Structure formats: C-alpha cells, structure tokens
Structure 1
Amino acid sequence: MEVKKRMAVLVGCNYRNTKYELHGCINDVMAMREKLMSRFGFKESNIQVLTDEPGSLLMPTGANIKRALGRMVGKAESGDVLFFHYSGHGTRVPSMKHGNFLGQDEAIVPCDFNLITDIDFRHLVNRIPKGASFTMISDSCHSGGLIDKEKEQIGPSTIVNGEKLSLPSMPNTAKEKTIPFQSVLHHLSSLTNINTTDIGTHLLESFGEDASLKFQLHPRELDTVDLLKPDAGILLSGCQANESSADMNPDSAGGKAYGAFSNAIENVLEKNPTALSNKQVVVMARERLKQQGLGQQHPCLYCSDENAEAVFLRQHP
C-alpha cells in the first residue's frame, strides 16, 4: 500500500535537577528525528517533539503527550505511517484487570508523573484507521507489554536463535530508567496529602480527566477493552516487562549520553541501509546490546503476525 502521510511524536524526559535525573533521553529523540527525515521520508512539519529541557515550548506532561498522540491519530487515514518514540522512565502499577498473572501493569512516567498506561495505548491503537500503522518505540524500564493485549512476537517466552537469557548487572556508566512504584506513590502522595496507597486516587485528585483511563474506568470496563482485528499497533520495547532499560552516560570518556535501546536501533539502521522488518530490527538490537555488555535487557516486539514481518516504518526498498 502506498504511504500517504508520515507523522511522528517524539518524547524525551531527562527529569533534570531531580533525584530521578537521566542524561540521554533528549539526545535519543533528537537523533531519531534526524533519522526519520533523512531515511524514512518524514517531513519536519509532521514531527512533534516534546522534551523537558529548560525553555521547552511544550513540556512532556501526561496530558500534553496524550493530546499530541491524539491529534496525530485524529489526522490519520488509511495508508499513513504513525510513529511514537518515548525515552524516559517507566514503572509498574498494581493491575486491576482480571487474569493478569503478573499482577502488575506497565506505564511510562511523564515529567509531571501523570502516568500513561498500557490501557491508554490500547485505546489509542484502537482508533487507528484500517490500512494505517502505529509504531511505538519505548526506551524505558518495564516497557514490554505497553500496548495492552498486543501479541508477543519476541519477548519473555521467546528465545531468539537459541539465545539463553542471562541477567548480568548493569555497567557503572548505566542508570536504570525506572522509578519504582513506591517512589511514584510517595511523590503523588506529597502532592495530594491524601492518606491512601491507592495510586488511582492520587492521580485522579491531581490530574482529573487527564489521568489515565486505567484509573477512570471501573475494573469490569477494563476487561472489555477489546483488541481490534487487524490490529495496527507495533511495539518495540527496550526490555521485557520485568526488566530495566539502561541510560548510558559515558561522560568520563567524553562521550554523549544515550539510551541503550535507542542507540542500538540507531546502530542497526546505520549498518543496514536497506529495508528491515520489525522483527529484524528487534533481533539485531538484542544482539547489539549483548555485544555492548548490556545483556540484562532484552528488547521485545509486540504486534500482529503480519506486522512482525512488515517493513519497519514502511521504508521504501
């Protein structure tokens, strides 16, 4: 199918001057912005960038990110290529869905801690017109499964090329891109002064209708959030749901900070100028991280069988 429009939302959160500070996230999305234009034919006017650097025109709050994604999806037509790249912290929250054997759900952590959850991304993907695609790269901890009910193609139950998954420690130049649930809860509690461990209460009190749908819907309603067929969602996650993604800050060597997964994708694309499938990108990124001594994180792919073999961002051959 001929591509009509290519649109992107890129989000980088470094959480500057906080105890959760990262260093490479804004670099990640700026590098991706250049790649989208130079290799994949995205027009600068169709790429929206949200970062939390000082003086940023649009801060990556939960509401701003969701509005940017909503506007992009609202413009989508059959044949369009939609792309979302997030680099920043992730977290996990207690699940309210029946049948979740892990007991936890995945979320990203915008700069204002207004969590965007797997349910929000599922609702977004369900709005994609037939014939369009939505590719999401999440370079964050616990990013596996960030689109609720998306089919696992490469993940915790998958071994690629006989690879045995090992969990070595992160190198000294790396920082985990995660804010633990208890830390998120403590931060939100300090804003609301409400004595409860129910994170939904704090999010609804702080952000109202801008809070995640996960906390606005009744648990029974969460169970009725259906997967559309065919599904347009394609998630490339920096790691499995129970793993950490690395933020690399090699300042001692005079290097530039970066997210390990974002950088691995950049490297894969540089070394392979011809079109790659979504599955090839993830398999090669896994191998790149292992070569760099970052074998503790295993990128995953969640999408339909058809989209697993589809060309990444529908690059022309």
Structure 2
Amino acid sequence: MENGNKRLAVLVGCNYPNTPHELNGCINDVLAMRDVLVKRFGFDHSHIELLTDAPGSLVMPTGANIKKALDQMLKKAEPGDVLFFQYSGHGTRIPSAKPGHPFRQDEAIVPCDFNLITDVDFRQLVNCLPKGASFTILSDSCHSGGLIDKEKEQIGPSSVTNDGTLQQSCSPKTIPFESILQHLTSQTNINTSDIGTHLLELFGADASHKFHLHPNELDLSESLKTDEGILLSGCQANETSADMNPMMTGGKAYGAFSNAVQMVLKDHLGSLSNKEVVLLARKSLEAGGFAQHPCLYCTDENADAPFLWQPQGSDL
C-alpha cells in the first residue's frame, strides 16, 4: 500500500432539529473528528468538507448534497490518496430489492431530507476509487454493519451477551422503516409500500442508485474484486447505535461509537490498525454498558493496515 499524497474527507452530522427524530450529539461527533483529522492524521482544513444541519448551515446534509460532496471527493482523488467519510446520524433498514432475498433487509443512512443513501451507493463509490487509494467510512448510525455492499466481514456479529443497560439519557440512532415510509407517503400522496417509488417521485435522479436499477442488475457489479473500501460501523446490522444526551450531568452530547473511537485514539498514541480501533471501541462500549458491537468490513490486508495510514511522528 502506497503512502497517500492527499488526505480528503467528508464529514456529515445530522441532528434533525425540531423533528420527532431529533438527536443531540451528531454534529459534535464530526466537529471532534475534524480536529483529530487535522492534528493527528495530517489532513488539511481545506480538504475537509463539513455538512451539518445546524441552524444557519449554508449547505444542508440532504441526500443530494452528501452524494455530491462524496462524488467531488472521488473526482479529486488520485492513486495513493486517503479518503475518509464519517457519518453520524440516523440509519435504517429497508426491504431488499434483490431477487431471491424476500426477507433480507439492506442498510441505509438517513440524510436530513430522508433521501436515503444505501449500501449500493457506497459500493459504487468504492468501485470508482483510483488504484492505490483507500476509502475509509466510519458510520455512527443504527444498522450500519454491511453499509458497503458485498464488503468482506472481518469483525462481525458478536455472540457476547452484554448484561449492561443503556444509559437513561441516550436515544437510538434509528428511524423505523414504517416511519420513513409514512413520511414519504405524506409527501407523494402515493398509496404504495414500495419505498423506491416514493424516493424516485420526490428526488428523481438524486434518489439512491438502488432504485434506478432493475433488481436483476443489483448483483451485476465489479464488487467481487479486491478493493480498498474500509467500513467501521457503529454496530451490527441488527443493532442500534446510541446518541448520548448527558445534559442532566452537564456533559456534552455525543454518539457512543464516535466517542469510543475518540477515546481509543486519545489513549493509544501509536499507530493502530483498523482491526485494533474496532476491537478497542467494542471494549470501551462494553465497559460503558452499551449493547452495540462495532464491526469492520474490508480486505484482509486492510484489516491490519494502520487506521487512516497514520503518519509517523504524530504528537497526539
């Protein structure tokens, strides 16, 4: 693996203010990560695009804007570059459109306008990477395991029973499929349970690529080749991720997984592999009583590769 020439990042934090699905710590998560990217991993501020739904944001984290930012990052990328995407916000699961999988559910993130970005979209981004570049995704959202379609599982579903209880001041980062469908139906006035119909009606060409393809086309991709996609997910595909709101203690709101990664990086000043970051984050969450298990999806080589190709001489 070559040393990267440029380090490019897109950071997205969705708190969904003044909605029934409001969260508290997602914007804090990406602001904290921006500082770490600059101070520890050598990213230039000008190469980090930040999208949040904070009041007064000039560019909101809609589905179209997030995909535009990711596409622009890919267009700038050259062989050997390091690309990073962090998402902190709601996740959901939707019925699979793939033939032969009537009971399967696929993973998606939920931008502020509910224009879902799916595992197929992330797979296509990874497929477009220039040779020798890497694309690391850190998703602090519910049901985020498997968010890159067909990526190899390195650390997956855990059989460990967690007897701890979630802290009382947290909320799950999930919106049930039924709630998303109800919201979209209220916008389109179309009486169907097919979520793709609603998304295509509302967002047209900006809807997920998953819904533009015939079901038989979803398996016809280049995704089975070795690639440089790396997914660190906040939980397993069947779990929820916690959003902490410790206002009663005077603390700061944060996503449990994002905070665990921050603590791992703070406590271990040397180079950490992607596998080590995920395993240590699991231990941190278990110690805090959280019933979520971060996962890692990537090639065998990238499992042992340094997280974000950490430069030598880091002082944090």
**Matched AA of 1:26:** I
Q: Kindly indicate whether residue 152 of structure 2 is the aligned counterpart of residue 151 of structure 1.
A: yes
Query: Can you give the 5+ residue segments of structure 2 that lack an aligned partner in the other structure?
Result: none
Give the structure 2 partner of residue 96 of structure 1. 97
Q: 1:101 to 1:270 in 2, by over 3 A?
A: farther
**Residues 1-317 of structure 1 aligned to structure 2 (within 5 Å):** 1-100=2-101, 103-156=104-157, 164-166=160-162, 169-227=165-223, 229-294=225-290, 296-317=291-312
CA offset at residue 225 of structure 1? 2.3
Task: Name the CA distance, whole Å, in 2 between partners of 1:150 and 1:278.
Answer: 15
CA offset at residue 2 of structure 1? 2.3
CA offset at residue 166 of structure 1? 3.2
Could you give the per-residue CA deviations for residues 253-279 of structure 1, whole angstroms, max 9, x where no partner exists?
000000000000000000011110000
Query: Can you give the 5+ residue segments of structure 1 that lack an aligned partner in the other structure?
Result: none
Task: Name the CA distance, whole Å, in 1 between partners of 2:163 and 2:107.
Answer: 20
Could you give the per-residue CA deviations for residues 66-97 of structure 1, whole angstroms, max 9, x where no partner exists?
00000001111111000000000000000011
Q: Does the CA contact (< 8 Å) of 2:16 and 2:22 recur in 1?
A: yes
Task: Name the CA distance, whole Å, in 2 between partners of 1:288 and 1:298.
Answer: 10
**Matched AA of 1:222:** L
Task: Name the CA distance, whole Å, in 1 between partners of 2:165 and 2:297.
Answer: 26
Q: Secondary structure at the match of 1:135?
A: strand
**What's the TM-score, normalizing by structure 2?**
0.96
Task: Name the CA distance, whole Å, in 1 between partners of 2:197 and 2:6.
Answer: 40
**Matched AA of 1:312:** F
Task: Name the CA distance, whole Å, in 2 between partners of 1:147 and 1:127.
Answer: 13
**Matched AA of 2:230:** I
Q: Does the CA contact (< 8 Å) of 2:165 and 2:289 recur in 1?
A: no
Q: 1:228 to 1:47 in 2, by over 3 A?
A: farther
CA offset at residue 100 of structure 1? 4.3
CA offset at residue 223 of structure 1? 1.5
Could you give the per-residue CA deviations for residues 126-163 of structure 1, whole angstroms, max 9, x where no partner exists?
0001100000000000000000000000011x56xxxx
Q: Secondary structure at the match of 1:175?
A: strand
CA offset at residue 57 of structure 1? 1.2
Q: Secondary structure at the match of 2:284?
A: helix
CA offset at residue 101 of structure 1? 7.9
Q: Mean Cα displacement is larger for which, 216-225 or 8-17?
A: 216-225
**Matched AA of 1:305:** D
Q: Mean Cα displacement is larger for which, 134-143 or 98-107?
A: 98-107
Q: Does the CA contact (< 8 Å) of 1:90 and 1:179 recur in 2?
A: yes
Runs of 4+ in structure 1 deviating by more than 4 angstroms, as ranges, are 99-102
- Tell me the number of residue pairs that the alignment of Structure 1 and Structure 2 aligns: 311
Q: Secondary structure at the match of 1:84?
A: strand
Q: Does the CA contact (< 8 Å) of 1:173 and 1:250 recur in 2?
A: yes
* Aligned Cα root-mean-square deviation (Å): 1.2
**Matched AA of 2:238:** N
Task: Name the CA distance, whole Å, in 2 between partners of 1:179 and 1:167.
Answer: 25
**What's the TM-score, normalizing by structure 1?**
0.96
Q: Secondary structure at the match of 1:83?
A: strand
Q: Does the CA contact (< 8 Å) of 2:3 and 2:309 recur in 1?
A: no
Q: Does the CA contact (< 8 Å) of 2:25 and 2:255 recur in 1?
A: yes
**Matched AA of 1:303:** C
Task: Name the CA distance, whole Å, in 2 between partners of 1:140 and 1:55.
Answer: 24
